[in-house]
Chain A
Amino acid sequence: MAEVKDSQPLEIQKREYQKMVQEVQPRPTVGRNVFWAFVVGGLICVLGQLLLNFFQGRGLPLTEAGAATSTVLVFLAALLTGLGVYDEIAKFAGAGSIVPITGFANSMVAPAMEYRGEGLVLGVGARLFTVAGPVLVFGIVTAWLVALLYYFFR
């Protein structure tokens, strides 16, 4: 075998090698990832809509109903992260479990749990903001900036 291969021009060997690599490599999973991100992300938003309708039905104005919805979603995500369920969902849901506010809550709880051994202050307290910190920095600065622009240029 080896002798035959060696006698072939290098180009052909290269092409055959690439073909073999392609056959062995796992199929591109982008399609599947996108599908599950859509389904899970969509379903979390449907749950949000259910909660929103429920709180509005109880007589809360839209703004407060929205705040109550976020609060419940964040609570559920923190609980499911603690139980290890959220990360199981995240394995196949990808961005579907990252982009909703539940993903924000998950990004706080997961590292805080992980680094609890480093203490309540530098472990839990600091790690809660591993991702939430940057989110708040960029979110608050952007909101401040657009409000400033609005003030001067309205």
Chain B
Amino acid sequence: MMFLKAFIVGGLLCVIAQLLMDLTGHKVTPAHVLVGFVTAGAILSALGLYQPLVNWAGAGATVPLSGFGHLLAQGAIGEVQEKGLLGAFSGGVAATAAGITAAVVFGYLAALAFRPKG
């Protein structure tokens, strides 16, 4: 059941992005989509609206980049609760450190190891 929910919610989030691009004559680029999703995820998370979606759809809500924004916001808010104001500076990146490091390390190694086609 969780797989079906993940499929539906993850799929629908991608549909929103596809419509944003197609219906604006591609003035909305993939870069805009990624930035928009991370920002929207962080804002929805702060309003308490994203966690229910994560609870319901699991990876369907955490794998899309809005989930990255959610993780950033919850990390920052969580550390503010624990440490006060300094947490706003440390919590977000701390919560997303694994994903960021993986992307930088694997991205760098892949760019070194492979040649573009054509």
- A: residues with CB less than 8 A from B are 29-30, 33-34, 37-46, 48-53, 66-71, 73-75, 78-79, 81-84, 94-96, 98-105, 107-110, 112-114, 116, 124-125, 127-128, 130-132, 134-136, 138-140, 142-144, 146-151
Contacts and interface: CB of A to CB of B under 8 A. Distances in A.
Interface residues of B, number: 78
Contacts of A136: 100
Contacts of A84: 114, 116-117
A98 B42 contact: no
Interface on chain B toward A: helix, strand, loop, or mixed SS?
helix
A78 to B, nearest CB: 4
Contact of B103 (A42, A48, A105, A110): A105
B49 to A, nearest CB: 12
Interface string B59-100: 110111111110111011101100011011101110000111
8 contacts: A71-B102, A84-B114, A101-B99, A107-B31, A135-B31, A135-B68, A140-B72, A147-B87
B99 A70 contact: yes
Nearest to B21: A95
Task: Please list the 3 inter-chain residue pairs (A to B) with the smallest Cβ-Cβ separation, ordered nearest first.
Answer: A45-B10, A41-B14, A42-B11
Chain A contact surface mostly: helix
B1 to A, nearest CB: 11
A53 B67 CA distance: 17
B30 A107 contact: yes
Contact of A41 (B58, B64, B88): B64
A40 to B, nearest CB: 7
B59 A69 contact: yes
Give the interface centre of B35, B84, B88, B103 by most chain A CB atoms within 10 Å: B103
A71 B11 contact: no
A104 B18 contact: no
Contacts of A44: 10, 63
Given A45-B10, A99-B33, A140 B110 contact: no
B116 A74 contact: no
B109 A101 contact: no
B17 A38 contact: no
B79 to A, nearest CB: 8
B92 A49 contact: no
A49 B79 CA distance: 27
